[in-house]
Chain A
Amino acid sequence: MLEVTGLTKAYGSHLVIDDISFQAADGELVTIVGPSGCGKSTLLRCLAGLLPPTSGQVVLDGTPVTRVPPGLAIVFQDYSRSLYPWLSVRDNVALPLRRTIRGRVARREAALAALGTVGLTAFADRHPWQLSGGMQQRVAIARALACDPGLLLMDEPFGSLDAQTREDLEDLVLRVRADRNITIVLVTHDIDESVYTGDRVIVLAAGPGRVRAVIGVDLPAPRDQIGTKELREFAHLRAEVSRLVRGAAPAPRAASGTPARETRTNHG
């Protein structure tokens, strides 16, 4: 259970995120979507304990987060910098396990098992830069899964991948969540992605980042890239999220004149 209460981050007088509150139940996949400049990455770093909030708090399973807690793993957008080019794929996955698994052989086996989950066992001895972007991000996902996390944070994980690869990896995340019951918070700027993968979509408004609305996604499981996106409910939800994201643009007239039906709006 992840509980975020009144989370605020400011640099001097510049407010980046303002009073953000939400919860994520165990095994829930919450997507956070918003326009650029809404502080998505800042929010994620505060959730992870990488960045101390100015006020408010993050509580994971009853314990306030002050540094990166055990049982948390992160997938960053920039896989080419997040993976270490001097390590093989397997050693990249095995590196964080030094803390939890004793013995090099045992760590390598755990790394190989995680690579198996993402279908990259055959590439264990390669170096990350020898793989395509989508494969590199799979390695980053394997590294996160190898830590056996209860909470997985994903910071625009598929933002720099092509459409086909992006869809494949969205389905990979859904499959992993179903298999392991991991709580996932996925930050994205892609509205389709937020609706397709999410159990709930948190829409942020920009300047400073605030929760504009929280929308429950009642699409049937298992989701399917073609079938789900064909559904009338999907089209409706994506339109609704789309209006909310656009309504959060800084132009004040557009904001007041927006006809969006704000379901379960947090700050009315």
Chain B
Amino acid sequence: MSRLPSAAWRLVAQLLVLAAALAAWELATRSAASPYFLPPSVIAKSVYHLWFAGPARHLWLTSDATGNLLPSLGRMLGGWAAASLAGIALGIAIGRVRLLAELAEPIVHFGRAVPAPTLVPVFLLMFKIGTPMEVAAIIFGVIWPVLLNTIDGARHVHPLHVETARAFRLPAWQRLTRVIAPSAAPKIFAGLRLALSLALVMMIISEFVGSTDGIGREEIIAQSNFDIPTMWAVIVLLGLLGIVLNALFGLAEHAVLARQKGPSSHA
């Protein structure tokens, strides 16, 4: 009885719960009538007018969206991609070469222990205000889960996987791309997923501190101007963005990993 009968019914139930939560929020904020806590209908209007009321030839994006949302997304995805590539490359090297692991491990543990937001002012000094500083902050903030998961995945490739590759004389490059990388892929993807949600956080924080555009800057300006509708709109937009990015990532992960589910993950 605790399980819902089918996927369709589950979706209906989920939408009902969501609608109920929104209705409760709407009623509570309307009865409170506070200037700081806005009803969701007002926030939704604000989201629409700020970013999605543009002309059709701009895919309905407003100039605010192209001027703030797109640069933020670009920095976030660019930083995430760069951190992912670097994290995977370094992680495989550290995971497979014991000497490198012994040399690098203290640095890795120190690096991941430093809360990345505290370094944003440092990057600001190094790069001045602008995209390079923000991308650097995102890279530093999100590389650690990729690096640590890749190290773990590469280190724990089953020895017989590797020995078989040697026994059949696979060249080093093929051992790397055809055996070690696919074997470590599930853990690497777990790291990439964590990094993606962290990238959203680092994008906002770096834009809070020093930026000439972006939704983080929009948020901080709205706050200082008591522009409460915009402030709430950014919060809601970031939540929606997180959901969409996570869903897209899930699709990509499924496409890559579905081929290789082994007996352990075989449902």
Contact = CB atoms under 8 A, between A and B. Distances in A.
Nearest to B259: A86
A68 B175 CA distance: 15
Contact of B168 (A86, A95, A127): A95
A50 interface: yes
Interface residues of A, number: 23
B98 interface: no
A84 B160 contact: no
B169 A81 contact: no
Contacts of B178: 84, 95
Prevailing SS type, chain B contact patch:
helix
A68 B167 CA distance: 6
B166 interface: yes
B160 A50 contact: no
B158 A99 contact: no
A250 interface: no
Contact of A73 (B163, B168, B170): B168
A123 interface: no
Interface residues of B, number: 23
B79 to A, nearest CB: 29
B167 A50 contact: yes
B169 A86 contact: no
Among B160, B167, B178, max chain A CB count under 10 A is at B167
Interface string A96-140: 101100000000000000000000000000010100000000000
B263 A96 contact: no
A86 B182 contact: yes
Interface in B144-172: 158, 160-161, 163-164, 166-171
Contact of A70 (B169, B170, B182): B169
A158 B144 CA distance: 44
B66 interface: no
A96 B168 contact: yes
Contacts of B261: 85
23 contacts: A50-B166, A68-B167, A73-B168, A74-B164, A74-B168, A76-B160, A76-B163, A76-B164, A80-B263, A81-B158, A81-B160, A82-B160, A82-B161, A82-B164, A84-B161, A84-B182, A85-B262, A86-B182, A86-B185, A95-B170, A96-B170, A99-B169, A147-B168
A236 to B, nearest CB: 36
Given A84-B179, A86-B182, A86-B260, A68 B166 contact: yes
B14 interface: no
A76 B164 CA distance: 8
A129 B161 contact: no
Contacts of B266: 129
Contacts of A96: 168-170
Nearest to B178: A95
B212 interface: no
Contacts of A70: 169
Interface in A186-228: none
A262 interface: no
B41 interface: no
Contacts of A81: 158, 160-161, 164
B223 interface: no
A48 interface: yes
A80 B163 CA distance: 13
Given A68-B167, A96-B168, A78 B263 contact: no
The 4 closest A-B CB pairs, nearest first, are A86-B260, A96-B168, A85-B262, A81-B160
Interface string B253-267: 000000111110010
A127 B259 CA distance: 9
Among A68, A86, A127, A143, max chain B CB count under 10 A is at A86
Interface in A19-75: 48, 50, 68, 70, 73-74
Given A78-B160, A129-B266, A85 B168 contact: no
B160 A98 contact: no
Nearest to B263: A129
A64 to B, nearest CB: 17
Nearest to A147: B168
A104 to B, nearest CB: 14
B156 to A, nearest CB: 12
A121 B179 CA distance: 24
Given A84-B161, A86-B182, A129 B262 contact: yes
B208 to A, nearest CB: 42
A220 B52 CA distance: 85
A98 B168 CA distance: 10
B96 to A, nearest CB: 17
Contacts of A87: 260
Given A50-B166, A84-B161, A95-B170, 15 more contacts: A73-B168, A81-B160, A82-B164, A84-B164, A84-B178, A86-B182, A86-B183, A86-B185, A86-B259, A86-B262, A87-B260, A96-B168, A98-B170, A129-B266, A147-B168
